[in-house]
Structure 1
Amino acid sequence: MDTAPPRDRLELTYRDAVEADVPALVALVESAYRGDSSRAGWTTEADILQGQRTDPDGVREVITAPGSRLLTVERDGEIIACCQLEHRGEIAYFGMFAVRPGLQGGGVGRRVITEAERLAAAEWGAREMHMTVISVREELIAWYERRGYRRTGRTTPFPYGDERFGLPQRDDLRFELLVKELGRDLS
């Protein structure tokens, strides 16, 4: 008889990342979005982008920048998820969201985004959460919509030619802004 808790009831610990976490966080983000390991989850970008998703300098910058934090999520002392929160006045920006591929689809991501929204509202007084998502990621956008985010139709160009963001496999990539009012449970 399996006595393990259901995947959506795993005990999670939240904390701010420190510089010593950089290698583990880079590996986590890369595993969730790029290469063959990302195909174990559903958030892979491997078919639209090759190359890197982030690097140690990018992660370190999120950790150390004023008004920014990289929320690190652990289970049994092991990093299994993370997300960036950036304070922009009454708005919080949500990014660099990653869940270990083998744990995707089990409720961890939902719990992480809920905690991120709670922190942004409680600690910064943020009234809205903003994020940008590659506009061709329809399944991912639908997941965010089920969490109460709405598409704005406002887009910014993908930074073609800047390999820090990956190597595009198609020519129609752009980022779309998604927004959610905080303080209202819409899920």
Structure 2
Amino acid sequence: MGFMKASLILTVSLCLISCAPAKSSYFGEESWVGLTASGAEISFSRLEKEEIALNVYSPDCVPCWKEIPALNLLHAEIESQFPSKALYMIVDPYQIVPDITDDRPFGDVYKLAKTRMDIEVKNRKIQVPIVFMKPPFRVKEGGLITGTPETLLFVTKPMRLYYNFLGSISEQTSVDNIRKDAKFNFFRYQFGMESL
């Protein structure tokens, strides 16, 4: 009787393991595509990176401005020490261009958004690569991203959200103070840049 019970448990366990659903995208992020400032198209799910961080930015968001020094510091560190990771600043062109309706063609909105972000890059000294997101990506009520700043962490094979930072990663301005900021260090830990 003990042998039959053990065999049944083993059979059921193997069935459950082999029948478990595969890891997959939860929010349609596999379809997220955008254009860089140079006009190159990026499909995040096809990047040759193991993990990506997407920081959602708006020029009208004061906390977004305040976290730029921390984002620039993270970007430089990721670029130099973590080749399997990437950090991008993403914008919803339909959100950052005033008085634009959803029926306006993406190409038109991209040009207007790019002009606005060129000013932001210059004035705010943004060093993180910017991607202008194509629909269906949106910053809106009821969506995955409802406001800014927000930083989403993804694994890419398949692309799947595993952590979402709401608010600024750090609003400190000096490198020393940024490096001491608990939330900044928690981001680095979550993104596999250090252990606690």
TM-score bin (small chain) = under 0.3
More helix by share: 2
Return the TM-score normalized by structure 1. 0.26
Return the TM-score normalized by structure 2. 0.25
Work out which structure has the larger RCO, using CA pairs closer than 8 Å and 6 or more positions apart in sequence: 2
Q: Which has the larger radius of gyration?
A: 2
